[in-house]
Amino acid sequence: MFKHLKNDIPASIVVFFVALPLCLGIALASGAPLFSGLIAGIIGGIVVGALSGSKIGVSGPAAGLAAIVLTAIGTLGGYQNFLVAVVIGGVIQLIFGILKAGIIGYYFPSSVIKGMLTGIGIIIILKQIPHFFGYDPDPEGDWSFFQVDGENTFSEILNTVNNISPGASLIAIMGLGILILWDQVLTKKAKIFQLIQGPLVAVAIGILYYLLTADNEVLGISKEHLVSVPVPENAASFFGQFSFPNFSAITNPQIWITGFTIALVASLETLLCVEATDKLDPHKNVTPTNRELLAQGAGNIISGMIGGLPITQVIVRSSANIQSGGRTKFSAIIHGFLLLFSVILIPNILNKIPLSVLAAILFVVGYKLAKPALFKKMYDLGWKQSIPFFVTVLGIIFTDLLVGIGLGLGVGIIVILLKSYQNSHFLHIKENQDGKNSIKMTLAEEVTFFNKGAILKELDNLPENTWLTIDVVKTKYLDNDIIEILEDFKTKAKERNINIKLVSERGIIENPISFIEFFYKSKKKSA
């Protein structure tokens, strides 16, 4: 169990630095107490990490739920009432897991999953540009195109031009240089550079830079450009940051609706992330999806009970974990403990970390998710793969994660329908000496109502005086809709002097009297 700790501990430190600002930023974007984001990060790491079957997935507060949380806190009459919905959502996720709803995760097309990873990589880079240059009006973790500060992704970048902080920008550039040097050169020189991760060094230098330039009016970094962890004065004030659900409000129907919404969105986001992380995993582990829903449900129940935000598996942290060499669930669990111990023991030190340095770390994470070579690779695979991919990428950039995936999935379904339309049958046409066409229609192994249009079109286009052979020898499933089409075609066939021959495992039948009766008897016999 512990043989991969040399990989998991360094990876957990990187995930910790990625998770810390996101926990706080998502809480801020959700209109919730800052500490609630940290609670969700801690529970997502320790509890969900321990219960999950994923070796490299990392859970925490979900950016995709921020808008739902923000609205729900206002409509439900306060944060404590909202926590009841979080607990209910966790219970519903447990039910999803028991009912084995996790199988849904296996039905997302690969092109959409790759588009999701690439889109998230691009949006990470775009969203971190302002933070990189010390412009922080929009909180970390706000991944939507239309932001909580009233701007959109691109207008925020334009606003950055007039609000650059020299000190924050300088240390960000230094941090990015350290990360590139570490990744491209030093880790290949000696094992010590693999154990001590570049992000840890970048953060340490960032803290040192802040302390050394604190009195410099030009190069100094103001407090609004630093991490902002709540600092309790004593043990009593620390525990006073926890909130507890108001179960007296459980009879409110809106709380149940919100709870179901949280369960549904959190489960979908988790299943998408599971598929994505399994694709990224260099060791190709397969995550049991039903167990993941059970783990997420348990995590949300506990998070809601002590004042935390809703939890999902999160692609940004998971990809950072994979990129940093994490091998087992210990990296997720250790990152949870690092969050816990740091907010208790060293919140003042955390509050000296420049956000611009953390933006540099996220730059690297984003670039590795959206490498330019992937665009060419997807284009080369043809339109059936590239169109859902590009639609998903653009959808995520210009809307948000779930809408973008929904658009890509919709296009993917259309592509599947087109392929199904094209692949229902094969036609072999030859002209006999007497001038009559001999046409053989070989039906596919499975023919469903999706294939109605294609088969109808072919039958309608048959010329008069044709010999038609319908081969169903290899057909294992023939939808009743298709049988009815063949039955209806018999009348047209007589009018157009089309002779029909049916070839099946039971033999050859010339001009069958009833297709419905024939296929019904075939089913009855096989049963």
Among the ranges given (141-145, 209-213, 430-434), the one the predictor scored with the smallest mean pLDDT? 430-434
What pTM was computed for the model? 0.84
Are 444 and 357 within one domain?
A: no
Dist. CA 231–CA 82, nearest whole Å = 25
92 or 507: whose pLDDT is higher? 92
Are 487 and 357 within one domain?
A: no
Measured in whole angstroms, how far is the alpha carbon of residue 472 from the centre of its chain? 41
Three-state SS string across 129-153, please? Answer: HHHHCCCCCCCCCCCCCECCCCCEH
Residue 248 clears pLDDT 70, i.e. is over it:
yes
- Picking from 372, 398, 415, the residue at the C-terminal end of a domain is 372
Residue 396: inside a domain, yes or no?
Answer: no
How many independent structural domains does the chain possess? Answer: 2
Q: Given this model, what pLDDT does residue 451 score?
A: 79
Domain that holds residue 470: 425-526
Residue 432 clears pLDDT 80, i.e. is over it:
no
Residue 90 clears pLDDT 80, i.e. is over it:
yes
Are 347 and 430 within one domain?
A: no
Dist. CA 297–CA 314, nearest whole Å = 15
* Both tokens assigned to 350: 């955390």
Q: What is the mean pLDDT of residues 430-442?
A: 71
Are 367 and 433 within one domain?
A: no
Are 45 and 118 within one domain?
A: yes
Dist. CA 186–CA 207, nearest whole Å = 22
Instruction: Supply the angle between the helices 110-132 and 383-398 in degrees, to the nearest 10.
Output: 30
176 or 450: whose pLDDT is higher? 176
56 close to 331: Cβ distance less than 8 angstroms: yes
Are 16 and 120 within one domain?
A: yes
Residue 81: inside a domain, yes or no?
Answer: yes
Dist. CA 146–CA 127, nearest whole Å = 11
Are 344 and 467 within one domain?
A: no
Rounded to 5°, angle at Cα 127 from 124 and 129: 105
pLDDT band at 425; cut points 50, 70, 90 = low
Report residue 121: phi and psi, to 5°. Answer: -60, -45
Are 335 and 463 within one domain?
A: no
Residue 379: inside a domain, yes or no?
Answer: no
Dist. CA 524–CA 313, nearest whole Å = 48
Residue 254: inside a domain, yes or no?
Answer: yes
Are 356 and 470 within one domain?
A: no
Q: Given this model, what pLDDT does residue 429 score?
A: 63
For 171, what's the count of Cα atoms within 13 Å in the CB-facing half-sphere? 34
Among the ranges given (32-46, 291-305, 383-397, 422-436), the one the predictor scored with the smallest mean pLDDT? 422-436
pLDDT digits (tens, 9 = 90+) for 339-360: 999 999 999 999 999 999 999 9
Are 351 and 432 within one domain?
A: no
Q: Given this model, what pLDDT does residue 527 score?
A: 42
The domain spanning residue 447 has which CATH number?
A: 3.30.750.24
pLDDT digits (tens, 9 = 90+) for 117-137: 999 999 999 999 999 999 999
313 close to 61: Cβ distance less than 8 angstroms: no
- Picking from 355, 372, 389, the residue at the C-terminal end of a domain is 372
Q: What is the mean pLDDT of residues 486-511?
A: 86
Residue 407: inside a domain, yes or no?
Answer: no
Residue 431 clears pLDDT 70, i.e. is over it:
no
Residue 386: inside a domain, yes or no?
Answer: no
Residue 60: inside a domain, yes or no?
Answer: yes
Are 213 and 343 within one domain?
A: yes
Residue 13: inside a domain, yes or no?
Answer: yes
With a pLDDT cut of 90, the percent of the chain lying above it is 66
Q: Given this model, what pLDDT does residue 1 score?
A: 62
417 or 309: whose pLDDT is higher? 309
298 close to 48: Cβ distance less than 8 angstroms: yes
Q: Which long-range contacts (CB under 8 A, 24 or more apart) does 104-109 make?
A: 104/268, 104/271, 104/289, 105/271, 105/272, 105/274, 105/275, 105/289, 106/275, 106/289, 108/271, 108/272, 108/275, 108/405, 108/409, 109/388, 109/408, 109/409, 109/412, 109/416
Are 163 and 253 within one domain?
A: yes
- Picking from 351, 372, 393, the residue at the C-terminal end of a domain is 372
